[in-house]
A and B are shown apart, each in its own frame.
Chain A
Amino acid sequence: MKVQVIAEQCQGHNRCALSAPELFEIDDLGYASAKGDGVVPPGLEAKARLAAANCPEQAVVVEE
């Protein structure tokens, strides 16, 4: 599984990093990106889906 943030859609709500701090990082302006290559370590799949479900901009994409 992989997560990705669509940069043009992200408005910096920070819900992804709050839902799954292991998977997302926030830059100095408050915008998010996937940590590393975005590959979701085993066991964190549910958190990845939660991050996508909670992003008000629907900017988090989960590739199953």
Chain B
Amino acid sequence: MSTVEQVTDVATDYDIFDPGYVVEPYPVWAALRQRCPVAHTDRWGGSWLPTRYDDVVAFARDVEHFSSESVTVTPAIEGVPGIPADIKAPPITSDPPEHHWARRLILPVFAPQAVARYEPYTRELCASLAAEIAARGAGDGAAQYAQYIPVRVISKMLGVDESMADDFTGWIRGALEFGLTDPKAQEAAFLSIFNFLTAEIATRQAAIAAGTAGDDIISYLLQQTVDGEPVLVDHVLGTCVLILVAGIDTTWSSIGSAIWHLATHPEDRRRLVADPSLVPVAVEELLRAYSPVTMARLATSDVEFAGCPISKGDRILMSFPAANRDPEQFEDPDTVIIDREVNRHVAFGVGIHRCAGSNLARMELRIAVEEWLKAIPECALAEDDETTWAGGQVRGPRHLPIVITGGAAK
């Protein structure tokens, strides 16, 4: 289980944390689609990796044979001291029939009309961050822009003080980015999130009892009923943990990749500057080409899939990023065609677990791109400094040094 051991055959021994793969996974997926469209590895607890669009979609849709009981790309830690074992992260860890009502509970707060409420705040935030970078003439598009945005929008939706944003950022990275290869870091992160949200819930319960409930997501969830019964507090807690963990580094990774693309593709950037009405279509193409999120399933029984003998309990990594680069589904998939209209990408998954936050993520990404381009129409990667990428569950740049270049630059 070591990342230093050289991978000799990606079909039987791929390593999702291999530094080369994290930076440039595309040639590996292309080779696998040809040779072994559902690859296998023993690394990191063992898993299967489908890379064709149709196969990834088929796994996602087959909720009977492939359970969401564990959705992380490496086996989750077996319980954290201090957190009750029955706290899960519904609806992402739910299977039917629980999934249906657990998802129904959160859909209203993430519908397009509901997230539009947060658009002015998001725009102001992005504009002021971009203006700071513009004024300095240089900055980090990941750490000083992308990483600042979703965490503050979510804080606002949860009704949590904005000063918590930096703590959240640290916890989220501990939970997923570092945590999947470092159980101690993951334990500490989850315990911090759990303790924080437990205290927040207690405060909201008191406000609800006093008749002074706010209109934040936590208060909303605490006041919902399912089949006439109030929703259990542990359920609300699990869902809030999920909203924090699923809504932050996913979206900042996606914004970061978009900024990386703009900095490295002057023609696309200038086209969007000249015609901002193209941004919504461009956002879908950037989501396709730089999909951040891979999700896992566990097989509920021995089952054969595309000739592969999958055993009960095996982990399957649904690589939505690989699906979105399949030439069978997308013409010229490795080229970003900034005005690609026909684009049935699955960056937000597919089937019953379709990302509940997709309308929010899409709104944030669109505004982050619009405001960046307004303040910083001309930019490039800093020459003597390197972009770094994180991968595994969520792929995106973590360090993205950018310099602002003259408007007349060719």
Contacts and interface: CB of A to CB of B under 8 A. Distances in A.
A19 B343 CA distance: 10
A12 B107 contact: yes
A13 B358 contact: yes
Contacts of B112: 14, 17, 26, 30
Nearest to B61: A57
A4 to B, nearest CB: 18
Nearest to A11: B354
A55 interface: yes
Interface in A1-33: 11-15, 17-19, 26-30
Q: What range describes how many residues of A lie at the interface? A: 10 to 19
B350 A57 contact: yes
Given A26-B111, A26-B113, A30-B110, A14 B358 contact: yes
Contact of A56 (B104, B108, B345): B345
For the residues of A in contact with B, the DSSP-based class is loop
A29 B107 contact: yes
Interface residues of B, number: 25
Nearest to A54: B344
- Most A CB contacts (10 A, CB to CB) among B344, B351, B362 go to B344
Contacts of A57: 350-351, 354
Given A26-B113, A28-B108, A30-B359, A11 B342 contact: no
A61 interface: no
Contacts of A17: 112
Contact of B351 (A11, A18, A19, A55): A11
B342 A53 contact: yes
B280 interface: yes
A29 B104 CA distance: 8
A15 B330 CA distance: 17
A50 interface: yes
- Most A CB contacts (10 A, CB to CB) among B110, B352, B359 go to B359
B384 interface: no
A56 B280 contact: no
B220 to A, nearest CB: 13
Given A18-B280, A26-B111, A13 B348 contact: yes
Contacts of A55: 344
A53 B342 CA distance: 6
Contacts of A50: 341-342
B110 A11 contact: no
Contacts of B110: 30
Nearest to B115: A30
Contacts of B280: 18
7 closest residue pairs by CB, A with B: A11-B354, A30-B111, A29-B107, A53-B342, A56-B350, A56-B346, A26-B112
26 contacts: A11-B350, A11-B354, A12-B354, A13-B354, A14-B112, A14-B358, A15-B344, A18-B280, A19-B341, A26-B111, A26-B112, A28-B108, A28-B111, A29-B107, A29-B108, A29-B111, A50-B341, A54-B284, A54-B342, A54-B344, A56-B57, A56-B346, A56-B350, A56-B354, A57-B350, A57-B351
Interface of A: 11-15, 17-19, 26-30, 50, 53-57
